[in-house]
Chains A and B, each alone.
Chain A
């Protein structure tokens, strides 16, 4: 299981949990599993989020591997100038 850290504003979709455990081997599987477990997260994730795996933002990288001990964070999507 991979622990995913959500931002606190998402707790209302996860029964108050700020850390959610999902079964996943890639970033894409993390996102899909989150939506499956907590459908309320669907619109948020569809609208675009940034994902950090072990300190590295992997936006757009659904194929990026995630290990059981990876530190995964969902973050506000970041745009640049």
Chain B
């Protein structure tokens, strides 16, 4: 099958790649752009390990076709730290031991960042429901929720 030329903006960089029409955005990020921070845990949109934002909207990149990224702005885990400074969520995840194996972590961070941009002061329940599309098998979620709460508090304080 002939491949389609796609140009997009990923984490602020202009990129281009050739996508097989069957390839997902996740495949393209990982295999064509070398951005392996987004993970495939299920391929069916159930685990959230591949979470990215597409034109500002949180999506499972395994449910988006690579060719749909034409002209889009995409943000992945690799763009979360700015100029070497970690995002507060990244710092708080490490501080709170909110990761064990770390495989789901990029997806949680991208999803939590999208939450805090919409709702800077979410309740525990709001955090739990927002992150219900991200599976973690190691932590039981406790420390993840606390890390998000703590990051949100710090970001509100800094604002």
In the complex, A touching B, CB below 8 Å?
no
Chain A interface (Cβ < 8 Å from any Cβ of B): none
Chain B interface (Cβ < 8 Å from any Cβ of A): none
